[in-house]
Amino acid sequence: MEEALYKHNFTFKKKYGQNFLSDPNLLRAIVSDAGVDGDTAVLEIGAGAGALTRALSEKAKKVVSYEIDKSLQPVLAETLSGCENVEVVFRDFARESLPTLEKELKGEYLVVANLPYYITTPVVMKFVEESKSCLGLTVMVQEEVARRFCAVAGSPDYGAVTAAIARRGSATVTRYVSRTLFTPRPNVDSAVVKIDFTAGGFAVESEKAYRETVRCAFLNRRKTLENNLMSAFSMPRGEAKELLRQADVPGGARGETLPPRALGRLSDLLFGQRKELFL
């Protein structure tokens, strides 16, 4: 891989979050964490020099890998030669329509990626909010981001992103990865997070109501949920108090102390009583 990068005069571009992996044990471990087997279709975001793509190709049925940087074309032609089940798409994944892409993938798939750090959260949220046939994501992210994805209610890392992910499934760190395993070496360590859409999620009456309830819960962390409900939905205090009583939320509670399922119950009640807010 390094030889191919050198041969084709490749220069790393910080703006694209280019920190490549090459350790074969780590690459195999990521593929194994993801649960990829011969029946799995994989979507990768950021092929880079193709190290993870090749490891995925050895286990998966097929791999579709996006790469924004066209200067990697000759490198990937070399490093992925003979990988017949890989298709590299040289486009900006952030601009892709997920419904269209899912039609093209024709069935269930897993996302496995060493994500470019500058778009980690928007990419993950795209799958959390829009995917229909994605079974889950196994992604390398900065350690701090991993903590946010997997946080428990009431902890400083718990936030709107945690609650959004938890509605779709379970999120766990499968391994911590030292910065020394990346080229070039970033300033922070990383972790692999597995977000499993097939386990641990829950249904809500309205996804929009849940999103708005979560937004409201974290609107102002220093304020009580009652006060945040009043500001977010222009709700009289009496109505906010009654809603929280029905949702079994103690008076004076802050939004960040409510676990995702409690936020789901609150959003269902709110949707039942004030549908017009979410049309």
DSSP 206: -
Are 119 and 146 in contact by the 8 Å Cβ rule? The answer is no
Q: Which 7-66 positions form the footprint of ligand SAM (CB under 6 A)? A: 16-21, 45-48, 51-52, 66
Q: Which 85-144 positions form the footprint of ligand SAM (CB under 6 A)? A: 92-94, 114, 116, 119
Among 68, 150, 192, 249, binds ligand SAM (CB under 6 A): 68
Choose between 16 and 278: whose C-beta lies nearer to ligand SAM: 16
Choose between 79 and 267: whose C-beta lies nearer to ligand SAM: 79
User: Tokens standing for 252?
Assistant: 């004076």
Q: Which 145-184 positions form the footprint of ligand SAM (CB under 6 A)? A: none
As a whole number of angstroms, the distance between CA 143 and CA 230 comes to 35
Q: How far is the CB of 39 from ligand SAM (least distance, A)?
A: 22
* CB neighbour burial string for 104-122, b if at least 16 within 10 angstroms, e if fewer: ebeebbbbbbbbbbebbbe
As a whole number of angstroms, the distance between CA 125 and CA 133 comes to 15
Q: How far is the CB of 50 from ligand SAM (least distance, A)?
A: 7
- Dihedral sign of CA atoms 71, 75, 81, 84 in order: negative
Are 108 and 41 in contact by the 8 Å Cβ rule? The answer is yes
Q: How far is the CB of 273 from ligand SAM (least distance, A)?
A: 41
Q: How far is the CB of 140 from ligand SAM (least distance, A)?
A: 7
Q: How far is the CB of 30 from ligand SAM (least distance, A)?
A: 9
Interface residues with ligand SAM (CB under 6 A)? 16-21, 45-48, 51-52, 66-69, 92-94, 114, 116, 119
